[in-house]
Structure 1
Amino acid sequence: MRGLLSIVYGVAAYGLGMGALTYFIGFSGNLLVPKSVDVGGAGASVTHALAVNVFLLALFGLQHSVMARRGFKDWWKRIVPPAVERSTFMVATSVVLALMFWLWLPITQPVFWRVENSAGVALIWGLFALGWVLVLVSSFLIDHFELFGLRQVFARMKERPVPETQFRTPLLYRFVRHPLYAGLLLGLWAVPVMTAGRLLFAAGLSIYILIGIAYEEQDLVHAFGDRYRAYREQVGMLIPRLRSPRVTAEVHSAEETI
């Protein structure tokens, strides 16, 4: 019975998380949603809007960073069953994002850039789409269903332990260590019109991403030790690193044994 309840909860959390992510794409790009980073919530002063928006960004960063850390997970699993720990993380993230979508106050002036050339606009929207495609592809490369909590609840249903995370560098991870975050950054910054509010949104989340990468890599070094340190030395964090053929061959050879 508990296994079935875990699956129901996990599937609901997955749907909630995917819905929040989909709305986030529209929200960040002012696309096909009723309220977005530059649309809705008019009438507030710039000072009030700045205070509210900075608070929302800080709340997201705090929730996401704390709940994703290994130490918090170890403590949290004493309260929440391990099978639904990731699903609960997805629910909490979705709630915080929903608050951001609801309470965010646009700041439409000044405009820092505005691309009006049709070819330029098409190129920028192409980069925006590429960023979100990178996010989706990267999630499947590292196990999309474990990332969103489904694998854990189905393992509980079958009374099987979830396999321990293995250090692998599939496809995109051979060129950059964090292609998912690289895609997020591309999606945040590749817009034809950059307002003050949009700049705050992109800069705030970019700072969170860079801080999150630092903490995540600490956890990865703790989990995989010298294997991850060697990988970090050879592969760029967000941008492919120019390397000599000899170094590239060494990296490829090392990956074959992982």
Structure 2
Amino acid sequence: MGRAGQAAQGRRQKAVPKIIPVESIRGAAAICLAWVLFGLVHSLLSREWAKRRAERLLGPAFLAGLYRPLYAVLSAAMILWLWLFSARLPGDIVFFWLPDFLYIVPFLGKFAGGALIAASFLQISFAEFTGAGPLLRLLRGDLKDLPPTPPDALPMSHGDEPLAAAGVYLWVRHPLNTAAFLWIWAQPAYTLYNLTFAACLTVYILIGNRFEERDLVRRYGPGYERYRLAVPAFFGGLRGLGGRSGKLRAPPG
């Protein structure tokens, strides 16, 4: 066994302390608090009242053209900050290393998550999701005379974007969230900090999904209700794809 292998084996055989040090507890708590901060900012900006307030203050063109790209950039920056913040905290503890013969499994999980993201954007618009599409329309002047959002409509509802219910969206309703689960939980080693990070992300997705589902029902009406009854949220079997497709094609009764 080479020096690198001996060092890795030594790290894996290091016993987990019977009592978690105070420094490690503080680090895990700091990760949780950072996620609470992210959740508050991200959730507040995604709420309908925040979008309507932005529209009243800055105009319909700002809401339709700049709100989404600014929201996407801020979200990405905060996620990157969360990851760097967690990675640099001292006092992390390794609870469990995967055996050598399973070491490829987390990388396969991350590859599957990446493939799922790519498959998702075959069905939905990457430009609309990231805000590049609205920004381009704003720069072209297409939104100059846009009227305010009616009181009974959702702000930024993208009414011309159909409900995605084919491809990977026939397997699960929220494949991007499924990809996040695969990516964050597939690790070669499980530590106090990466488990805390993964648990916080999971809780945030589950809570946020409840609000997202409510907005999707408002946006797409009975069509989304049928879709929700036919297709599972995050994980589904491949054997039922034909049945789900048939349920969605059948006339409402």
How big is each residue's C-alpha offset from its partner over 1:185-219, in whole Å with a ceiling of 9 and x where there is no partner?
00010112111111000010011011111110000
1:84 equivalent in structure 2:
66
Find the counterpart in structure 1 of residue 248 from structure 2: 251
Task: Note if 1:222 corresponds to 2:218.
Answer: yes
Are 1:236 and 2:232 counterparts? yes
CA distance in 2 between counterparts of 1:229 and 1:163 reads: 17
Closer/same/farther in 2, CA of residues 163 and 249 from structure 1, 3 Å limit: closer
Classify 1:157/1:247 alpha carbon distance in 2 versus 1 (closer, same or farther; 3 Å).
closer
Q: TM-score, normalising length from structure 1?
A: 0.72
Aligned to 1:109: 93
Deviation larger for 79-88 or 158-167: 158-167
Q: What does residue 205 of structure 1 align with?
A: 201
Provide the residue aligned with 1:65 in structure 2.
43
1:109 partner letter: I
CA apart distance, 1:128: 1.3
Give the 4+ runs in structure 1 shifted more than 6 A: none
- Within the candidate set 131, 137, 141, 1:159 is matched to 141
In structure 2, do the counterparts of structure 1 residues 126 and 106 end up closer, same or farther at CA, with 3 Å as the change threshold? farther
Indicate if the aligned counterparts of 2:174 and 2:234 stay in contact, CA closer than 8 A. yes
Query: Equivalent residue for 1:56?
Result: 34
Q: Distance in 2 between matches of 1:150 and 1:124?
A: 32
Q: CA deviation at 1:247?
A: 5.4
Give the TM-score normalised by structure 2: 0.74
Percent sequence identity is 24
SS in 2 for 1:194: strand
Distance (whole Å) between structure 1 residues aligned to residue 77 and residue 242 of structure 2? 47
- Which residue matches 2:149? none
Partner of 1:172: 168
Answer yes or no: is 1:138 the counterpart of 2:120. yes
Residue 253 of structure 1: how far off its partner (Å): 4.7
Tell me, yes or no, if the aligned pair for 1:139 and 1:180 is still in contact at 8 Å.
no
Q: Unpaired segments of 5 or more residues in structure 1?
A: 1-42
How many residues get paired?
211
Q: Which of the two has higher C-alpha Rg? A: 2
Q: Residue 57 of structure 2 aligns to a residue in which SS?
A: coil
Distance 1:199 1:133 in 2: 23
Partner residue, 2:153: none
Pair 135,77 (structure 1): closer, same or farther in 2 beyond 3 Å: farther
- Unaligned runs of 5+ residues in structure 2 are 1-20, 144-157
Given that 1:174 and 1:235 are in contact with CA atoms closer than 8 Å, whether structure 2 keeps it comes out as yes
1:205 and 1:228 map into 2 onto residues whose CA distance is 25
